[in-house]
Structure 1
Amino acid sequence: MTTTPAAGAPTRIQQNILARGERRLLNWICPRLPAWVTPDQLTTLGFLGAVMVASGYMLSWIDDEWLGLCLAGYIVNWFGDSLDGSLARWRQIERPNYGYFVDHSVDALATFLMVGAIGVSPYFRLDVALMAVIGYFLLSIHTFIAAKVVGEFRLSYMAGGPTELRLMLMAMTATMAFVGPGDIPGTNFSPFDLFGLVIASILVTLFIVQSFATARMLRARGG
């Protein structure tokens, strides 16, 4: 979904599969939140959701039932992360520079915690998880740079965005409880490691393709 930006702000481009339905849901929730709820509180709540996710993966060494904490954490993370900016815009209390800096700084740390913790679970190799984190951060860097030089802040790629990514990770987490840990015979990789390698490869490829495309466009514009 594309929203009208404030003067001088980049245009938000969000074309993921669930964008319209998610926007309707967020617009329904915003006016129903108590007045004492603030965007900063929602940002904190989203981060606490990331801590829940990370804790669940680490505790899954004890019992795979702790993976349920991860699933709950993803929902809490979505609620806080998706609603902090939405609430600020709904109440017309945006602080563009402060909100942009704090929100994306917290998001980066939350992403590192959640995906990094997958790598210290019994289901996933740490190096594979870190490759996925690197791919995500590379694409994020491209997004932030493009917002400056092109004026477009892209929140989705290949019809997928943060919400679709969370749902994908939730589906993988639920599958972990049924498949269990263990490598594919004859390899040092679990089925989840292979899934992570595919995701990491897609993210890095998207970064490379988008970077070359943006560079060509800027060159054609003469600057």
Structure 2
Amino acid sequence: MSQEINKKLFQDRKRTNILSSPEQKFISYLVPRIPNWISSDGLTAIGLFGSLMILGSFLLAEYVSRPLLLIGILGFFVQWFGDSLDGRIAFYRNKSRKWYGFALDIVMDWISTVMIGLGYVFYAPGDFKYTGFALVALYGWAMIISQLRYRITDKYTIDAGLLGPTEIRVIICVVLLAEVLFPFSINYLVILICVALFVINLVDTKNLLHLGDLKDWEEKKKKQVIADEREG
């Protein structure tokens, strides 16, 4: 039964991230247990609240006490819960709205990314604030690549190879924990994350352009075949 649920919930997308197998099993376990009064839009709102918790954790850490950054780890779990289950619950209840859900998901992801980056900007000292801007810009670049890949291939994927949103959440949670244990380490770890995202985006952009080039040649061949048939 659980395998049937898992197949139904994830038939619309291919996942390549490291945690895809345990994550999908956990989601398949949770979805049938979500109360009927919680809608897919309600889960989206829960995910957004998680992002607010992360933003708030940075503000509390800056103006009250650094250990309050740990609230952000809980916030990432709440965000994952809402973001991962909103679309899946719609599939499970046969109430999915493909383009509505797609548009809402992209907008909420961007708002959440800006909130997290803004939180770090408030928390970071001096010139390290610029890395918060860089982090948001680089993640935005990754989102654009994802949408363009979907447009070119008609296959939607949210992962960059072995890394997906879940892995990024886990990495940032580790960074928050490290900051509480080793103050100011977050500033250098965020720089490393930015460098890694930059390299990943460059590779993905190269692959994206290759896919675009292949599609251009396919369309040219189709047009040529149609033209030859008309002439024949």
TM-score by length of 2: 0.83
- Cα distance, 1:97 vs. partner? 1.0
Q: Which runs of 5+ in 1 are unaligned?
A: 6-11, 182-190
**Cα RMSD for the two superposed structures:** 1.9
* Structure 1 equivalent of residue 157 of structure 2: 154
Deviation at 1:123, TM superposition (A): 6.5
Name the residue aligned to 1:47. Answer: 48
1:89 aligns with 2:83: no
The total of aligned residue pairs comes to 208
Matches within 5 A, 1:37-76: 37-61=38-62, 62-76=64-78
The Cα shift of 1:76 comes to 0.7
Match of 2:228 in 1: none
Aligned-pair distance for 1:216? 2.2
> How far does the alpha carbon of each residue in 1:11-65 deviate from its partner, in whole angstroms, 9 at most, with x for none?
x221111111111111111111111110000000000010011001111022113
Please identify which structure carries the higher helix content.
Answer: 2
The 2-side partners of 1:67 and 1:219 are apart by 45
Q: Percent sequence identity over matched residues? A: 22
Give the structure 2 partner of residue 119 of structure 1: 121
Q: Which runs of 5+ in 2 are unaligned?
A: 1-5, 220-232
Q: Which moved more, 1:196-205 or 1:105-114?
A: 196-205
Amino acid of the structure 1 residue aligned with 2:158? L
Superposed displacement of residue 122, structure 1: 4.3
Q: Would you say the 8 A contact 1:42–1:84 is kept in 2? A: yes
Match of 2:26 in 1: 25
Query: If you compute each CA radius of gyration, which structure gives the higher value, 1 or 2?
Result: 2
2:103 to 95, 101, 105: 101
Are positions 1:218 and 2:212 aligned together? yes
Deviation (angstroms), 1:72: 1.4
Deviation at 1:146, TM superposition (A): 1.0
